[in-house]
Chains A and B, each alone.
Chain A
């Protein structure tokens, strides 16, 4: 028995036998809003957004060659006056100071005006991107979440059954992760599309069909998307699995695992409620940070499978020196990475009470 008498805490004082020693739920207090934490994160995201947008502003101005020159090279029957007008339209007339251009850039951005794309017949950049974005988010988002889920759950099981044959999965998936993604994709096309003819070669849907909401079209999209999604999952599985397994091995040595087992908890509960729940925290952090890499992988995937997403837009825009489109895509990519980071932050705060407690 303790030497110090427990301080009676009023209503919440329950009989230990009723509550049980296996209580896993903390007593719910007032949900504190961690303002300091939220504030510092918000500041960080604003700063990153500003940095990315400023880089975005300077990129085309550092590049050699002129979008209009490239455009004229493609379309020969444009008069010099029309070329001048085009320059003015694109904000490429350089008689303004850099600072003035920077302010104009921000003004246009805040109004949601990203300019017009030379590559796509002077259509607004926002429209061009809006057409491509759903394809990328649908395919890559789905594949990434599946890969993260399989990798993390698999890593937890492998860590739990340490020393068993499952350990062999870690080097195998790591090996698949060290293969350059584009090569894996090309091989997959060579094997499954060209030789076995199980899947179509590239593109998001068949040549003749138009995007519509019919079962037939959706089936076609799934058929076309299977190979790219599978290659993304195969290539990225290893990292999640290795990270989770290594973290599990560390967590499983902690005293609270021993205590939980000594209390006679079922193994399932120890594995998922105690070990995996703690081991998954660094996974979520690295998930947030690896979104940038995932976006980079998108470009390669879309090139290999000629998938009509934003990555392919960026490549085409870079080759054609279509600055407005290039800037627009880079902007969208950066913003999506930031949004994904914010979501991961919120998930992290939900899962790890310590983040919320920094205030206290």
Chain B
């Protein structure tokens, strides 16, 4: 501790001491601050699972033991064995290889669709939130129209316009129909930010609109943007696999939904060929869990009450107080076993 200069009260020294030479923010620390919403156990677990699937998608060719469509008529409907870890299909294809190759389509479409949707959501949401008057209202009305029009029927109809839609077309359709929710949330948050002091100050300084939006507003919207991105990835993955299962998307590119389409069409569900229909479904569920873990983490970052409420209630219960009990419990304090500080910490309202 620095020795206080003679004559200054000690409290002053304590108060002023904390002015450490602030090191210039490095790129790393800035990056860390921008992604602070991911720095908690739940989000990290989810991100790790997603990273695992991304790696599988990248190295599918190396990891898969067989080509996904290699027909082997001698070994049809085989349960898992040493040769085929997840068994074979009705024409002897290796299920494990199909699942591994199927990861690629799911990851690509999921993230591409979410990227498209997020860009539209940011553009529409932030502009609608920042502007006032009829421009804002009409953008908001557009958002609501996209929210209200039933999405899946529209996607089915649009996707059937293409004979062989490539992956990016599917991603684009899913993205264009899936941005509205994010835009709505971002608009609400931008409207509340618009009147905060620092935005007013930036405007009074005469900063251009572009700078106000990108430098002042976007960093404060990052958590919401991340949450809507994650939500759209989930929706896009569910959408893609559902469309593939329905058979709207042709079966040329393998993804988990396509495998389930084949399994269902060949009666795997009625003949208990679990090795065929369980793995792809579990993969979709696992990636869905990972994405919702990330979102739980972001939610708790945005609204700390979600976590602290439970912790506080548990701490109270440990002391024998029900959090919902309106009557303040009067307890006899054991003589001088607690220091006044402890007591203060327990009853801060005193």
* A residues lining the B interface (CB < 8 Å): 44, 47-48, 51-52, 55, 59, 62-64, 160-164, 167, 171, 174-175, 177-183, 186-187, 189-190, 194-195, 201, 246, 249-250, 252-253, 261-262, 264-265, 267, 270-271, 289, 292-293, 295-297, 299-300, 303, 314-315, 318-319, 326, 329-330, 333-334, 337-338, 341
Contact = CB atoms under 8 A, between A and B. Distances in A.
Interface in B278-312: 281, 284-285, 288-289, 291-292, 296, 299, 303, 305-306, 309-312
A178 B153 contact: no
A179 B285 contact: yes
Given A64-B161, A292-B150, A48 B285 contact: no
A314 B269 contact: no
Nearest to B159: A318
Contacts of A262: 326
Contacts of A270: 324, 326
B177 to A, nearest CB: 10
A314 B154 contact: no
B160 A318 contact: yes
A250 B161 contact: no
B163 interface: yes
Contact of B260 (A182, A252, A289): A182
Contacts of B285: 175, 178-180, 183
Contacts of B241: 180
Contacts of B157: 59, 63, 318, 326, 330
Contact of B245 (A44, A62, A182): A182
Interface string B158-199: 101101000000000000000001000000000000000000
The SS class assigned to the B binding surface is helix
5 contacts: A52-B148, A180-B281, A270-B326, A296-B152, A314-B156
B258 to A, nearest CB: 13
Interface string B303-339: 1011001111110110000011010000000000000
Contacts of B284: 179-180, 183
B151 A292 contact: yes
A261 B323 CA distance: 11
Contact of A333 (B150, B270, B323): B150
A59 B154 CA distance: 9
A179 B282 CA distance: 8
Contact of A250 (B144, B238, B305): B305
Contact of B269 (A52, A62, A63, A189): A189
B161 A178 contact: no
Contact of A289 (B148, B281, B296, B324): B148
B272 interface: yes
B217 interface: no
B148 A63 contact: no
B53 interface: no
A52 B149 contact: yes
Given A249-B309, A261-B326, A178 B288 contact: yes
Interface residue range, chain B: 35 or more
B148, B151, B238, B313 — most chain A CB neighbours (10 Å): B148
B269 A163 contact: no
A179 B288 contact: yes
B242 A250 contact: no
A303 B265 CA distance: 12
A293 B312 contact: no
B145 interface: yes
B310 A163 contact: yes
Nearest to A314: B153
B118 to A, nearest CB: 19
B156 A318 contact: yes
Q: Which of B150, B163, B299, B303 has the most CB of A within 10 A?
A: B150
A163 B313 contact: yes
A249 B305 contact: yes
B38 interface: no
Given A167-B310, A179-B285, A246-B299, A333 B141 contact: no
A55 B157 CA distance: 11
A162 B153 contact: no
Nearest to A175: B289
B277 interface: yes
Given A163-B313, A186-B264, A293-B151, A180 B242 contact: yes
Interface string B262-277: 0010000110100001
B310 A300 contact: no
B205 to A, nearest CB: 34
A230 B340 CA distance: 57
**Most B-side CB within 10 Å, residue of A164, A181, A182, A300:** A182
B246 interface: yes
A160 B141 CA distance: 36
B117 to A, nearest CB: 15
A163 B145 CA distance: 39
A162 B323 contact: yes
Contacts of B310: 162-163, 167
B292 A178 contact: yes
B141 A249 contact: no
Contacts of B154: 55, 330
A48 B144 contact: yes
A337 B148 contact: yes
A105 B323 CA distance: 62
Contacts of B316: 163
A162 B309 contact: yes
B149 A163 contact: no
Contact of B149 (A48, A161, A271): A48
A249 B151 contact: no
B147 interface: yes
